């Protein structure tokens, strides 16, 4: 071998991020055209045997690889970077913090259309006529006046869309005929991008006069001009948080700056979008999973060019590019949907704070039930606390009581006392909301003779009985099978559905309150959007009805005529094994309770429990959420759990539990070795089987790492992950990292 072949390449190198799970970037030679390229641009590069879309991260001179081992960039896809420097930096930070491949992170941050070699602006079709020199046909159209008129229109206005042709009164037949006669042809063109929206005027006539608390909060927010500051609006349901967001946004919009609003769920709360659309005279767009690929690309462009004044979106909207972003709002900041649980396990709320910091913007987090993390950040003066303690309108706080169901006869989960209350409220022509956190008909199907229980073949979990259509389903993996007629063990035909789900309760309530409409809201009943909308419409008429549902009804809806809210069973949350179990229970109960008495009629909240004297539950019922949160924070401090410590979990999955556990044991040894260099600042717990031990055919295990400081854990986990990446990992093991896990399931 001659020396030149071995030496490292010297000369210009582009470092390219590629959507693969590998946590590294790759060296490429410049493209043949030698056009200079900027970080944040997409390129087509050879990778393995394919050409793949990658992203330029940086430019350097020289590679540790020899020239012959380097491949060249095949094609430049973007003349201008699709990621601004700031956004690219944020995404790099996110990939580093959550220990995920930068290529996958960048890929997830763009609309699907841009993940292949499509141009950034959406394409559209226009019709053109041939110029005299290229004319192929001299058909005079003497006998076709419509076609003749259309041809002359197209000649006058080159590049008409089909839509504008139709608007001018022609039909698609005329277009087809002219095309057939080779008088016109179609051309696909990139859509011209919109202009930045026009700054709004300072005063919005639709703004509501704020009360004193709201005014104080708004003043604090708008004082901060183009600086980073994180505000937490800690305000009970209906206290007018949204009104403050809107008025703070108004200030930005009148400066020509854009606003980003993150919400937990958009499909379920179409009111949110229309509320903003009605308030502001600029274009308000939404970004959520329900968009088609083209719609998403169009929305992305509108944000990037500044044509959209406001973007309202779910989790992934935090990666939207903006021409001129002025403020970020995260509504319901405590909501667990802001944390992605699979793949790139990021928290959109936390990245939003990072984005605001980097881009020097104010950010508002809002919630009636702030997360313990955010409350801790207030205690340590990282966030500014803005509290709203009164309901904005006339509404007053509901009263709360606990009904002891221990040793009581329950009818489909409801105590006599609760049934009586339901009757009273319905008799007063009011609406009643019943919260039960289990969809389906019944959570257990069991044989009365031998005790057999229907279990999922792929998970360690029971099958839930469903009706309409009748079958049994696993809520962990989605497996579905026919409802057995006989017991597969003893062939007995007496199978019993035990326990209570929304469908069983619905059936019972329909029979019991015959004249009253019963509306069930859960993941099954809301799958059809039109059906869901018609239920919301019915509730909004204000007529007496019974509303029952899961978590979904706790999210953001305004139902002014509800005067009774019942929580059928508070005990699952009370005894949850997860460290966030009680926090989430308190948030759900408080949010559901917040649906009561939103207008002028006073509300009542009833909580059923078999542990009516449980300290935690009484604490929650007798105190405000914020007092209860203080109590939970003390507990977290005593047990040294977040936010008083930082967690990361290494997860492994395999077809056998022992394989997953053994793999994590190896990692635990590596972790111990690293820890000795860290003065044992990191605690490792496990490996242990995950609480959901088997899901979709895979056994699951976890190794939990805990440190006092974020920075310690970050450095530690970075070292550990790079060592794991160097292992030869058998293909039958899947592993991942979850930094700041939401739950240890």
Q: How far apart are CA 68 and CA 6, in angstroms?
A: 9
Least distance to ligand ADP, CB of residue 237, Å: 5
54 contacts 106 by C-beta, under 8 angstroms: no
Q: How far apart are CA 443 and CA 466, in angstroms?
A: 9
Pick 113 or 241: Cβ nearer ligand ADP: 241
For Zn ion, the binding residues (CB under 5 A) are 447, 449-450, 452, 456, 458-459, 474, 476-477, 479, 487, 489-490, 492
| Angle at 598 (CA atoms; ends 329, 267), nearest 5 degrees | 45
Pick 183 or 260: Cβ nearer ligand ADP: 260
> x/- string (CB under 6 A) for ligand ADP, residues 73-92?
--------------------
Told to check if 139 binds ligand ADP by CB under 6 A, we report no
Can you name the residues that pair with 56 across neighbouring β-strands?
A: 16
b/e per residue, 531-566, with b = 16+ CB within 10 A? ebeebbeebeeeebbbbbbbbbbbbbbbbbbbbbbb
User: Of these, 213, 237, 316, 497, which contacts ligand ADP (CB under 6 A)?
Assistant: 237
Q: For residue 515, count CB atoms less than 10 angstroms from its CB and return exposed for 0-12, middle for 13-18, buried for 19 or more.
A: exposed
Helix axes 615-622, 625-638, angle to 10 degrees: 150
Told to check if 616 binds ligand ADP by CB under 6 A, we report no
Residue 643: cis peptide before it, omega within 30 degrees of 0: yes
Kindly state the DSSP code that residue 197 receives in the 8-state scheme. P
Told to check if 449 binds ligand ADP by CB under 6 A, we report no
> x/- string (CB under 6 A) for ligand ADP, residues 385-404?
-------xx-----------
> x/- string (CB under 6 A) for ligand ADP, residues 216-235?
-------------------x
Q: How far apart are CA 414 and CA 513, in angstroms?
A: 14
Q: How far apart are CA 722 and CA 630, in angstroms?
A: 38
Pick 595 or 695: Cβ nearer Zn ion: 695
Q: Which region, judged by CB under 6 A, interacts with ligand ADP, from 99-107, 164-172, 205-213, 605-613? A: 205-213
Q: Which region, judged by CB under 6 A, interacts with ligand ADP, from 206-214, 279-287, 301-309, 583-591? A: 206-214
Told to check if 211 binds ligand ADP by CB under 6 A, we report yes
From the list ligand ADP, Zn ion, none, which binds 419 (C-beta under 5 to 8 Å, kind-based)? none
CA dist list (Å): 589 to 236, 395, 455, 584: 13, 19, 30, 8
Q: Which region, judged by CB under 6 A, interacts with ligand ADP, from 8-16, 202-210, 712-720, 723-731? A: 202-210
Q: How far apart are CA 638 and CA 636, in angstroms?
A: 5
Told to check if 175 binds ligand ADP by CB under 6 A, we report no
Size of the site for ligand ADP (CB under 6 A): 15
Pick 108 or 364: Cβ nearer ligand ADP: 364
Residues 6 or more apart in contact with residue 528 via CB below 8 angstroms: none
User: Of these, 63, 107, 120, 214, which contacts ligand ADP (CB under 6 A)?
Assistant: 214
Can you name the residues that pair with 12 across neighbouring β-strands?
A: 61
Least distance to Zn ion, CB of residue 48, Å: 34
Rounded to 5, what percent of the chain is helix, strand, coil? Answer: 35, 25, 40
Told to check if 242 binds ligand ADP by CB under 6 A, we report yes
Told to check if 741 binds ligand ADP by CB under 6 A, we report no
From the list ligand ADP, Zn ion, none, which binds 393 (C-beta under 5 to 8 Å, kind-based)? ligand ADP
From the list ligand ADP, Zn ion, none, which binds 387 (C-beta under 5 to 8 Å, kind-based)? none
Binding site for ligand ADP (CB under 6 A): 208-211, 214, 235, 237-243, 392-393
């Amino acid at each position: 071998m001659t020396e030149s072949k071995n030496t490292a390449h010297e000369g210009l190198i582009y470092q390219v991020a590629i959507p693969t799970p590998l946590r590294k970037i790759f060296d490429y030679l410049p493209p043949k055209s030698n056009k200079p390229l900027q970080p944040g641009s997409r390129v087509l590069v050879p990778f393995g045997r394919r050409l793949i879309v990658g992203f330029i991260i940086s430019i350097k001179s020289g590679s540790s690889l020899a020239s012959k081992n380097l491949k060249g960039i095949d094609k430049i896809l973007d003349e201008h970077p699709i990621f601004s420097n700031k956004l690219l930096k944020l995404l790099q930070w996110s990939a580093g913090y959550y220990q995920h491949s930068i290529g996958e992170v960048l890929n997830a941050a763009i609309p699907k259309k841009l993940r292949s070699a499509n141009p950034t602006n959406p394409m559209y079709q226009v019709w053109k006529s041939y110029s005299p020199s290229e004319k192929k046909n001299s058909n005079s159209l003497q006998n076709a006046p419509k076609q003749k008129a259309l041809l002359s229109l197209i000649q006058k206005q080159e590049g008409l869309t089909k839509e504008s042709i139709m608007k001018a009164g022609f039909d698609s037949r005329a277009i087809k005929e002219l095309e057939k006669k080779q008088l016109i042809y179609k051309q696909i063109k990139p859509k011209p991008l919109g202009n930045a929206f026009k700054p709004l005027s300072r005063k919005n006539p639709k703004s509501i006069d704020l009360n004193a608390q709201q005014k104080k909060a708004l003043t604090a927010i708008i004082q901060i001009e183009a600086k980073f500051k994180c505000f937490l609006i800690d305000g009970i349901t209906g206290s007018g948080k949204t009104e403050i967001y809107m008025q703070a946004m108004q200030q930005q919009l009148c400066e020509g700056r854009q606003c980003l609003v993150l919400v937990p769920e958009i499909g379920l709360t179409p009111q949110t979008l229309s509320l903003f659309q009605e308030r502001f005279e600029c274009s308000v767009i939404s970004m959520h999973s329900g968009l088609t690929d083209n719609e998403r690309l169009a929305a992305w462009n509108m944000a990037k060019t500044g044509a959209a004044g406001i973007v309202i979106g779910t989790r992934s909207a935090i990666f939207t590019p903006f021409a001129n972003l002025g403020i970020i709002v995260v509504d319901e900041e405590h909501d667990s949907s802001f944390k992605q649980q699979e793949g790139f396990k990021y928290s959109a709320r936390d990245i939003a704070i990072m984005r605001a910091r980097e881009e020097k913007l104010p950010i508002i987090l809002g919630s009636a039930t702030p997360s313990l993390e955010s409350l801790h950040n207030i205690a340590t003066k990282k966030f500014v606390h803005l509290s709203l303690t009164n309901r904005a309108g006339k509404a007053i706080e509901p009263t709360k009581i606990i009904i002891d169901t221990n040793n009581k006869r329950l009818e489909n989960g409801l105590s006599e006392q609760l049934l009586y209350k339901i009757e009273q409220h319905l008799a007063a022509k009011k609406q009643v909301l019943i919260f039960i956190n289990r969809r389906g008909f019944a959570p257990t199907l069991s044989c009365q003779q031998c005790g057999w229980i229907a279990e999922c073949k792929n998970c360690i979990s029971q099958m839930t009985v469903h009706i309409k259509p009748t079958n049994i389903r696993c809520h962990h993996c989605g497996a579905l099978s026919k409802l057995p007629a006989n017991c597969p063990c003893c062939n007995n035909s007496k199978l019993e559905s035990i326990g209570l789900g929304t469908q069983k309760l619905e059936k019972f309530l329909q029979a019991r309150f015959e004249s009253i409409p019963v509306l069930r809201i859960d993941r099954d009943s809301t799958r059809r959007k039109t059906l869901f909308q018609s239920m919301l419409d019915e509730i909004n008429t204000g007529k007496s009805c019974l509303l029952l549902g899961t978590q979904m009804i706790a999210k953001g809806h305004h139902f002014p005529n509800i005067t009774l809210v019942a929580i059928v069973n508070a005990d699952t949350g009370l005894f949850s094994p997860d460290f966030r179990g009680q926090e989430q229970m308190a948030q759900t109960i408080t949010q559901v309770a917040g649906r009561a008495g939103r207008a002028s009629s006073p509300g009542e909240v009833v909580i059923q429990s078999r542990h009516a004297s449980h300290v935690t539950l009484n604490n929650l019922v007798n105190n405000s959420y914020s007092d209860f949160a203080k109590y939970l924070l003390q507990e977290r401090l005593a047990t040294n759990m977040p936010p008083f410590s930082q967690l990361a979990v290494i997860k492994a999955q395999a077809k056998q539990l022992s394989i997953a556990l053994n793999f994590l044991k190896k990692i635990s040894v590596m972790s111990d070795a690293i820890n000795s260099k860290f003065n044992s600042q990191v605690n490792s717990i496990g490996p242990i089987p995950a609480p959901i031990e088997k899901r979709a055919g895979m056994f699951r295990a976890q190794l939990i790492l805990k440190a006092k400081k974020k920075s310690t854990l970050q450095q530690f986990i970075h070292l550990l992950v790079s060592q794991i990446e160097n292992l030869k990992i058998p293909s039958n093991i899947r592993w991942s990292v979850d930094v700041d896990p939401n739950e240890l399931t």
